[in-house]
Amino acid sequence: MEWGTLGVATVGALFGIGATVITDALRARRENEHRWADTKRLVYSRFLIALAQAHSRMTIAASRVEGGALRERAVHDAFHMDPQHSEAKSVLRELGLAAPDHVYQAALPLYEQLRMIRDMLASEEVLSFEMPEYRRLVEPFFQQMEALQRLMRDDLRPPISRRGRSGADSGSAI
């Protein structure tokens, strides 16, 4: 065998091995990004569900108890005691671990607004869910929740599809 043939065979083998290594590395990276996106999707969903369910539980508790200390206790219990063990504060902490900072920073005021709703529902101020004071607090909560959901959805999109989007469409209104 000639040295030229041996050299070409060696270069071909090195090229094949290199291509395989690069392909495997890219595949592993893609799989890792996919798993990370799945983790974020799960945490994002859990957070939005925890907020909505906490609000629902609190309004049910507030409507069942007339007022005073019993109502305050019932609303606070409804806020903290999630039967699915996904209380909003604990899922907010998960969000802090899994989400990029801009998503987490957008979620913080939403959680605080839910706490203000809790405090209003626990007080004797809310006699009806149609009261203007309650509506002024709860309507922005749901609007901000929608905006956060758009921001989360945008974060879950592949980077290539995010580049072509306009800033107004990406949920930057939070």
Is residue 21 in some structural domain?
no
Is residue 13 in some structural domain?
no
Question: What CA–CA distance (Å, rounded) separates 40 from 138?
Answer: 26
Residue 142: how many other CB atoms lie within 10 Å: 14
Average pLDDT (113-122) is 93
Is residue 100 in some structural domain?
yes
Percent of the chain at pLDDT > 70 equals: 90
In which domain, by residue range, is 80 found? Answer: 39-163
Report the amino acid identity of residue 6: L
Is residue 95 in some structural domain?
yes
Joined together, the tokens standing for residue 79 give 């806020």
Joined together, the tokens standing for residue 16 give 């094949």
Is residue 149 in some structural domain?
yes
Is residue 90 in some structural domain?
yes
Give yes or no for residue 90 having a pLDDT over 80. yes
Question: What CA–CA distance (Å, rounded) separates 52 from 118?
Answer: 12
Is residue 70 in some structural domain?
yes
Percent of the chain at pLDDT > 90 equals: 41
Tell me how many domains the chain contains.
Answer: 1
pLDDT score at 115: 94
pLDDT score at 32: 77
Joined together, the tokens standing for residue 78 give 């409804």
pLDDT score at 1: 59
Is residue 73 in some structural domain?
yes
pLDDT score at 46: 93
Average pLDDT (37-48) is 92
Give yes or no for residue 156 having a pLDDT over 60. yes
pLDDT score at 117: 93
pLDDT score at 111: 95
pLDDT score at 173: 46
Name the residue with tokens 């969000």: 95
What are all long-range contacts of 39-43, with beta carbons under 8 Å and residues at least 24 apart? 39/98, 40/98, 40/99, 40/152, 40/155, 40/156, 41/156, 43/91, 43/94, 43/95, 43/97, 43/98, 43/99
Average pLDDT (137-142) is 94
Joined together, the tokens standing for residue 98 give 């899994």
Joined together, the tokens standing for residue 135 give 């509506």
